[in-house]
Structure 1
Amino acid sequence: MEMENKPEEEALTIKASLTCIDLENSDLHQSAALLKQACLDSGFFYVINHGIREELKDEAFEQSKKFFGLPMEEKMKVLRNEKYRGYSPLYDQLLDPINQVRGDCKEGFTIGNEGPKYGPHLDKPFYSPNIWPNPDVLPGWRETMEEYYQEALRVCRSIARIMALALDLDAGYFDTPEMLGNPIADMILFHYEGISDPSHGIYACGAHCDFGMLSLLATDGVMGLQICKNKDVKPQKWEYVPSIKGAYIVNLGDLLERWSNGLFKSTLHRVLGNGQARYSIPLFVKPSPECVIECLPTCQSENNLPKYPAIKCSTFLSQHYKAAHAHHKKT
């Protein structure tokens, strides 16, 4: 039994070494080369000089802690709706049903793009009015989160311009209305607690790959996030991703792996709890529902034909949401 656990225990002491992308670097092609290598190596990297005020980020975390510190009856007043906006209690999400004995030991609160007020996108399943806590209970909470959301989305669009260059496309390739002009973008406030025990299937957040385009993650500095750079190698090697003050962690999702014809990989990751409260705020970005995801021409060659058929973004995401919902129903 000790021999079986040894690879896991050894992996917990390792820290990942990730590339750092400076968003103020005037040499975009240099940044693109660094980003491309990061996407080939691990699918995770840091960004610095992003322009988000540290005071705004600190206020978002402070307001997040205030919400999760409310009595349960108050939090349940904004329980997630059918479009998953609002509060998700502990154990509500099960990301790794094969290895987890119960849902993630985390609670969350989702805020998303409300979409156009009029027009064909109004009834799409990926846009929805947000649910907000009572302003009398949490004054200024909504205003802080809305400002932080827009700033995080701005940074993601900046990263997408460098990503386009890394894929040998024009910098503005992803700027079109059907791509990131009106994206599906969900920001989730997370509060993790408890002690994880992988040998018994207990995790703060189970192992998974994000299924969007890219994710922008802010953490409170408490260690817990781990990545597995090669999910097909057994036993899996897990590495901690340290937080760097002033930097954001970025990772790729399944959708971008498909878009890049498998050139860039969506990386397996998870969170382990050590008994210390941990907070994070990721923004998960996908293109608009009508965007057609097909292998980029710059990722094709005579020896590297398209591995995936073209698919509408809404169809791709619906398949993933349905699978996640099926796992939830089993718990």
Structure 2
Amino acid sequence: MPTSEHGTHKAFTELPVVDISLLFSEQLEDRVKAAKELDKAARDAGFLYLKGHQITPELMINLKQVVKEYFEQDVDSKMANYIGLSKNHSGYVPIGEEGFYSTEAKKPDLKEAYDIGPDSPSLMARFEKDANTQWPRHEGFKKHVKAYYDAMLSLSRVLFQGFALALGLPEDTFTQQLTVPPSQLRLIHYFDNPDAKETDSGIGAHTDYEFFTILLPTAPGLQVLNGSNEWINVPLVDDCFVINIGDMMEQVSNGLYVATSHRVRQVKEERYSFPFFSSLDYDTVVAPIESLIKNDDTSSYETIICGDHLLAQTIQTFSYLKEKSARGEIDLPENARTLLSFGKPEIKED
């Protein structure tokens, strides 16, 4: 794994809380002040609680309600919108369809999901030029889920500006390449299991592919790996999102920010989780920014294409895409990285 001398996390025992209210200020000095707090949390932990985000409670309440109603349907109703039927990687993801396997047992992640992304250009733009998001007929689903997706796009723009300032870069460094990104919203349902043990996995250890993730969870279960290789529980905090650094932010920051490994374990109660994976436009060249490479340092990060990296990781994760690849209908982008190629060099399951 490539690292820099700064690319290690502290042995934190709880996530830092960052208030980004000042990122919405018209005064640059205010935005820089908030960005410094963002920078410290990203360096120390790669994970943080985000407050002051200006997302209304109504949006979150409507999202949770309509998603709960959707997942309460029978399997056949949900499979009518199976993700393998879509042209742009959107739709229902049944249990066992995908997983991040880091143990020999290769147990399927105990969850189901629904994936939402842009119509065109989408993550699958190399193979399908024009495609529409697959929406179920369930009443209110598209209305409330799309409203939340759009709100997350707006918040991600603010955070991209904040991270640029945090790294000492021009504020529009990232947003210049933020027009129609293949950013994805996942609606995840973890099944309740009162007898769940600590070793029972809701989702295996992994890092996120994108630049950063904006997560809204409804119950405990998330764990993150600290600088001492210890798994730390992440409890819910009122009116806060959870933010974590992804693979491509590690790349552009030349390892100043490291993608943090995380997992979901011991889900005793029914749990919903809504991660929004923030990306830049598909053709964005992702490489260490020159000003972040010291004169006496040579970066060991290879240049990648944003969309190609996301596509490669997705193809290696989803069963229906693996099958398409085996049939020669799709192929991995050139120089595709293997799964779990960023973040901590060792991810150990207990």
Partner of 2:282: 289
Which one of the candidate residues 169, 179, 185 is aligned to 2:183? 185
Partner of 1:39: 42
Q: Distance in 2 between matches of 1:249 and 1:267?
A: 13
Partner of 1:104: 109
Quote the RMSD (CA, aligned, Å). Answer: 2.5
> Residues 287 and 64 (structure 1 numbering): CA distance in 2 closer, same or farther, change over 3 Å?
same
**Does the 8 Å CA contact 2:114/2:188 hold for their aligned counterparts?**
yes
Partner of 1:20: 18
Q: Distance in 2 between matches of 1:61 and 1:100?
A: 33
Partner of 2:269: 276
Corresponding position: 1:58 with 2:61 = yes
After superposition, residues 53-92 of structure 1 pair within 5 angstroms as 53-81=56-84, 83-92=88-97
> Residues 99 and 299 (structure 1 numbering): CA distance in 2 closer, same or farther, change over 3 Å?
farther
> Residues 320 and 225 (structure 1 numbering): CA distance in 2 closer, same or farther, change over 3 Å?
same
Structure 2 residues without counterparts, runs of 5 or longer: 1-11, 324-350
**Does the 8 Å CA contact 1:93/1:328 hold for their aligned counterparts?**
no
Letter of the 1:71 partner, please give it. D
- Deviation at residue 319 of structure 1 after TM alignment: 2.9
Structure 1 residues without counterparts, runs of 5 or longer: 1-13
> Residues 315 and 21 (structure 1 numbering): CA distance in 2 closer, same or farther, change over 3 Å?
same
Q: Distance in 2 between matches of 1:76 and 1:261?
A: 42
Corresponding position: 1:146 with 2:146 = yes
**Does the 8 Å CA contact 1:21/1:45 hold for their aligned counterparts?**
no
Which is helix-richer, 1 or 2? Answer: 1
- Deviation at residue 322 of structure 1 after TM alignment: 3.3
TM-score (norm 2): 0.80
Partner of 2:98: 93
> Residues 142 and 244 (structure 1 numbering): CA distance in 2 closer, same or farther, change over 3 Å?
same
After superposition, residues 1-331 of structure 1 pair within 5 angstroms as 16-24=14-22, 26=25, 27-81=30-84, 83-98=88-103, 100-115=105-120, 128-134=131-137, 138-176=138-176, 179-193=177-191, 194=193, 196-199=196-199, 202-220=200-218, 222-230=219-227, 236-325=229-318
Q: Distance in 2 between matches of 1:85 and 1:249?
A: 24
Question: SS of the residue aligned with 2:308?
Answer: helix
Letter of the 2:19 partner, please give it. I
Q: Distance in 2 between matches of 1:208 and 1:292?
A: 23
Question: SS of the residue aligned with 1:244?
Answer: coil
> Residues 64 and 244 (structure 1 numbering): CA distance in 2 closer, same or farther, change over 3 Å?
same
Partner of 2:341: none
Question: SS of the residue aligned with 2:183?
Answer: strand
Question: SS of the residue aligned with 1:204?
Answer: strand
Q: Bigger CA drift: 321-330 or 144-153?
A: 321-330
Letter of the 1:78 partner, please give it. N
TM-score (norm 1): 0.84
Q: Deviations over 1:163-205 (max 9, x none)?
A: 00111111111111xx222111110101112354454xx3011
Partner of 2:338: none
Q: Deviations over 1:40-92 (max 9, x none)?
A: 11111122222211011111000010010011111111111264310011222
Q: Deviations over 1:199-234 (max 9, x none)?
A: 4xx3011110001111100111x111110023xx5x
> Residues 158 and 127 (structure 1 numbering): CA distance in 2 closer, same or farther, change over 3 Å?
farther
